[in-house]
Amino acid sequence: MKEKMNIVIVGHVDHGKSTIIGRLLADTGSLPEGKLESVKENCARNSKPFEYAFLLDALKEEQSQGITIDAARVFFQTEKRNYIILDAPGHIEFLRNMITGAAKAEAALLVIDAHEGVQENSRRHGYMLSMLGINQIVVLINKMDLVKYDQKVYDNLVQEYGEFLKSINVEPQAYVPVSGMQGDNIYNKMDNMPWYTGANVLEVLDNFSKKKPLDNQPFRMPVQGVYKFTGMGDNRRIVAGTVDSGTVTVGDELIFYPSGKKSRVKSIEAFNEDAGNSASAGMATGFTLEEQVYISRGEIAAKISESIPKVTTRALVSLFWLGSKPMVKNKDYILKIGTSRTTVVVEEIKAVIDASTLESGAKENIERHDVAEVILKMKKPAAFDLVEEIAATGRFVIVDNYEISGGGIIRESLPDKQTWARDIVIQRNFEWEKSRITCTQRAEKYNQKAALLLITGPENPNKKVLAKAVEEKLFSDGKFVYYLGFESLLFGLDADVQDTENARREHLRRLGETAHILLDSGLILVITVDQFNADDLALISTMVNPDFIETIWYGNDPTEDHPFDIHITSEEKIENSVYRIKETIQRRGIIYSPW
């Protein structure tokens, strides 16, 4: 069977991309029967000259305006391959459509009008191709008929555009002088340019080489979902996803990031085929695990025996912005890497670049169609790779107001305040001695989910009164619950901590580790700490799964430093406060709620 390849054709508006593809289809006899005649007939009826572009610009609006609005998929085959050619629009207004088309491609044809020369989007599209990771590029110098097939014009353009590409580290495979309108060097050689002896467009396509499968890279699979469909007597619990790189085989020991949890692959699963023993890059697959660990959508599966992804809350990235509103600092956006979603803010804009002039400047905002180098700060740690190591998990998009508004590549992983503690946690999870009782079994036995109720606020003795009342209420309800005061640790477990500037963070780390052990046993743990700030919470959330933490602010003037789940004023009656806390954990499904 023939192999399949996606190609994109890009370049400035009106430089003749659709005409070249239309011509290619017509000259190679690839159009459906009657298509050429019907388009010609339609043109005659509407008294407009026939253009090959009409074969592709199918939308009414496209034909009336004479431009391509959205990328069309054109199916085309040669002796060697089946191609999908993505005809991308060249108008700046439709840059998002150009990116949509180009991102699917393995190679690109970039078109420059010989008569008009290198234009704004000739350069911008070249730049975008390099950001999208497309490194097979052939430049077509089109409309040679309009410059009387003059070699000098061609040579000058090759020189001018070649210098631009060189400055962004792109090296094209070839330059081809063509005329889409007249058909030179598309499929037919013709006699107009005896000075050119290279390949025609059709040959150029077949000369592109098929991207090598990424089987040899480290294994990465973003988890799309964990499925357990109980219908028809099915008891399998399957971790499903598409392998981005590498290979996974039955028996492999896996770690999931950012959680750091590990397990071993028990079986590869598939429907209506022999699933075999392994799955490799590009395959949508699923597997079961030897030991059941609690993982969910958004984690990245990697192998213990290979290099691991980065886990942090800060990264240096290059991004392009497509949003109608500019990207600004300190505003919440959604960051999507693989299948994960995290709230993110721009911590710093290091440079904003105009991709059509390569001029770079210091700007406060990133406007639509700008390219920028920024530091992103995530609300929760994310797992990713650097783009030059593993491309698929080194890319992201940014969502603003429901729309994908930007995309980019990760250049560097940067440390944050919790890096030291996260390294310890990943190592701890890795070495953790798992019991044969799972957290689900414990939850069923105790009729509750493990949780950390963290009561904080300004100094006030009533905080402890409340904590103990909550413990008492849950205890008398038959729950498995324990109150732990911060001081109880300070003089025992923490007795060796020296009074240095790092003392507080070490105290909190030990509190977090203690909480982690108690939660692992299935307990509801109530803790009081004075004046918790955002850094403290981030640290505890590093040690304990943040989904299991309920934060309660007790007292007035709640901090705006970090969000909390419940606010209780110091005027509120204790019984009432206890009731509100109980009601919240019922609603969260931590303890059973009758109707």
Token pair for 561: 């430093």
User: Residue 355: what are its φ and ψ, rounded to 5°?
Assistant: -65, -15
Dump the DSSP string for 18-68.
HHHHHHHHHHTT-SPTTHHHHHHHHHHHTT----GGGGT--SHHHHHHTS-
CB 76 within 8 A of CB 24: yes
Minimum Å distance from CB 234 to other proteins? 7
Maximum pairwise Cα distance, the chain: 96
The set of long-range contacts for 31-35, using a CB threshold of 8 Å and a minimum separation of 24, is 31/55
Token pair for 115: 């008569």
Q: How many whole angstroms separate alpha carbon 314 and alpha carbon 374?
A: 10
Beta strands in 123-237 (DSSP E): 137-142, 174-177, 221-227
CA distances to 128, 172, 351, 359, 362 from 354, in Å: 11, 22, 10, 5, 11
Phi and psi based region of residue 183 (left: phi greater than 0; alpha: psi -120 to 50; beta: remaining): left
Binding-site member from 192, 224, 488, 584 for other proteins (CB under 8 A): 224
**Window 42-61: residues binding other proteins (CB under 8 A):** 58-61
Of the pair 226, 537, the CB lying nearest other proteins is at 226
Q: Is 210 in the site for other proteins (CB under 8 A)?
A: no
Q: Is 13 in the site for other proteins (CB under 8 A)?
A: no
Type of residue at 412: E
Q: Is 78 in the site for other proteins (CB under 8 A)?
A: no
* Among the residue ranges 145-153, 162-170, 401-409, 500-508, the one whose residues contact other proteins (CB under 8 A): 401-409
Residue 192 CB coordination number (10 Å): 17
Q: Is 437 in the site for other proteins (CB under 8 A)?
A: no
Q: Is 399 in the site for other proteins (CB under 8 A)?
A: yes
Instruction: With both helix axes pointing from N to C terminus, report the angle between 419-431 and 503-520 in degrees, rounded to the nearest 10.
Output: 30
Interface characters, 403-422, with other proteins (x: CB under 8 A): xx--x---------------
Q: Is 268 in the site for other proteins (CB under 8 A)?
A: no
Phi and psi based region of residue 59 (left: phi greater than 0; alpha: psi -120 to 50; beta: remaining): beta
* Among the residue ranges 159-167, 201-209, 219-227, 587-595, the one whose residues contact other proteins (CB under 8 A): 219-227
Q: Is 588 in the site for other proteins (CB under 8 A)?
A: no
* Among the residue ranges 45-53, 258-266, 355-363, 392-400, the one whose residues contact other proteins (CB under 8 A): 392-400
Of the pair 86, 111, the CB lying nearest other proteins is at 86
Binding-site member from 336, 377, 463, 479 for other proteins (CB under 8 A): 336
Helix, strand, or coil (residue 383) = strand
Q: Is 332 in the site for other proteins (CB under 8 A)?
A: no
Q: Is 82 in the site for other proteins (CB under 8 A)?
A: yes
Interface characters, 547-566, with other proteins (x: CB under 8 A): --------------------
Q: Please tell me the count of residues contacting other proteins according to CB under 8 A.
A: 67
* Among the residue ranges 91-99, 257-265, 482-490, 556-564, the one whose residues contact other proteins (CB under 8 A): 91-99
Type of residue at 534: A
User: Residue 353: what are its φ and ψ, rounded to 5°?
Assistant: -120, 135
Binding site for other proteins (CB under 8 A): 1-4, 29, 31-33, 35, 58-61, 69-75, 82, 84, 96-97, 99-100, 102-104, 132, 213, 224-225, 227, 229, 231-232, 234, 236, 238, 240-242, 269-273, 280, 282-284, 286, 297, 322, 334, 336, 338-339, 392, 395, 397, 399, 402-404, 407
